[in-house]
Amino acid sequence: MAREFQRGHKAKISDLTPGTDLYVGVQIAAPGLTFDISCFGLDADEKLSDDRYFIFFNQPKSPEESVQLLGAQSGDTESFRVTLDRIPAGIHKLSFTATLDGAGQMSQIGPGYIRIVAGGEEVVRYAFTGSEFTTERAVMLGDFYLKDVWRFAAVGQGFDGGLDALLKNFGGEVAEEEEAPAAPQAAPAFAPPAQAT
């Protein structure tokens, strides 16, 4: 039977399951809205000191595959595989987030959750609804964090701004849109040398 967490609840992973190979599922939806679900691998200062640990649709796994984006499955909008004993020593927190892609705000979402499944059994679920938020465009849903042992915290903290603001909060760099280069001047067409007559 899965434990139901409320915002702020914390537990040692070892109290939830003896396993270290975990499935993390996120369910979040609202009519007409699109969401990006991501995982930030943060250092001891809670910063993204290595961009390879920003796991999202364009970078679906960490270098040693300790965190892998799996896609929508089993009723989840997005899912991840987390192998705790493969996470490198420099990573102290995995922060799972949802951000709006386009217009909208988190108050518009329906019932959602973040859950952990181990060995095919759901061991914990933190449920949330749009009524817990207002104009935020991002939500920090839950964290795995290292404090002598790996633990899980139900966060549920709204965050103004979208993915760019969240990236900056974690110390990451936002890729700037590059301006299209100016059209090159027309080069003279190739012409063979004129033949002497």
* Residue 192, pLDDT above cutoff 80: no
pLDDT value at residue 173: 80
* Residue 54, pLDDT above cutoff 80: yes
Identity of the amino acid at 171: G
pLDDT mean over 2-16: 96
pLDDT band at 181 (very low <50, low <70, confident <90, very high): very low
pLDDT band at 126 (very low <50, low <70, confident <90, very high): very high
pLDDT value at residue 176: 63
pLDDT value at residue 196: 52
Q: What is the pLDDT of residues 70-85, one digit of tens each?
A: 999 999 999 999 999 9
What is the SS3 string spanning the chain? CCEEECCCCEEEHHHHCCCCEEEEEEECCCCCCCEEEEEEEECCCCCCCCHHHEEECCECECCCCCEEECCCECCECEEEEEEHHHCCCCCCEEEEEEEECCCCCHHHCCCEEEEEEECCEEEEEEEECHHHCCCCCEEEEEEEEEECEEEEEEEEEEECCCHHHHHHHCCCCCCCCCCCCCCCCCCCCCCCCCCCC
Q: What is the CATH number of domain 3-169?
A: 2.60.60.30
Q: What is the pLDDT of residues 86-110, one digit of tens each?
A: 999 999 999 999 999 999 999 999 9
Rounded-to-integer distance, Cα 57 and Cα 147, Å: 29
pLDDT mean over 22-27: 98
Q: Kindly report the pTM of this predicted structure.
A: 0.87
pLDDT value at residue 164: 87
pLDDT mean over 150-174: 90
